[in-house]
Structure 1
């Protein structure tokens, strides 16, 4: 199981910009589907996830 985790961490580190882009798109979908009722919470969640997706975060 640790090989999978190591591979995931390696991917996240190498492709942080793509991961951040995906997180932004996911946040937009959640925001849209909830009629922007939880925009602040969604944005905080997306930002928190971005901060944990690898070294050299592209959006900090």
Structure 2
């Protein structure tokens, strides 16, 4: 696995160990994108944030 893959695996492991903190980071990133784009891609950022949350919560309930 390359460096990017290694970093992604480490980030996912950290997020699984600290899901509440990871949720805050995902929400902040989603908010930042929505602000920069004027909410133009809100549906897409919602979908992406939910996918990220599922990736470290193993398909459990997502928070918004």
Return the TM-score normalized by structure 2. 0.69
* Equivalent residue number for residue 16 of structure 1: 19
Aligned: 1:34 with 2:37: yes
User: Which consecutive unaligned segments of at least 5 residues does structure 2 have?
Assistant: none
Q: Name stretches of at least 5 consecutive residues in structure 1 with no aligned partner.
A: none
Contact 1:16-1:58 within 8 A present in 2 as well: no
Which deviations, in whole Å up to 9, do the C-alpha atoms of 1:23-53 show, x marking residues without a partner? 0110000001001100000110001111002
CA distance in structure 2 between the aligned counterparts of 1:15 and 1:56, rounded to whole angstroms: 16
Higher relative contact order (CA 8 A, sep 6+): 1
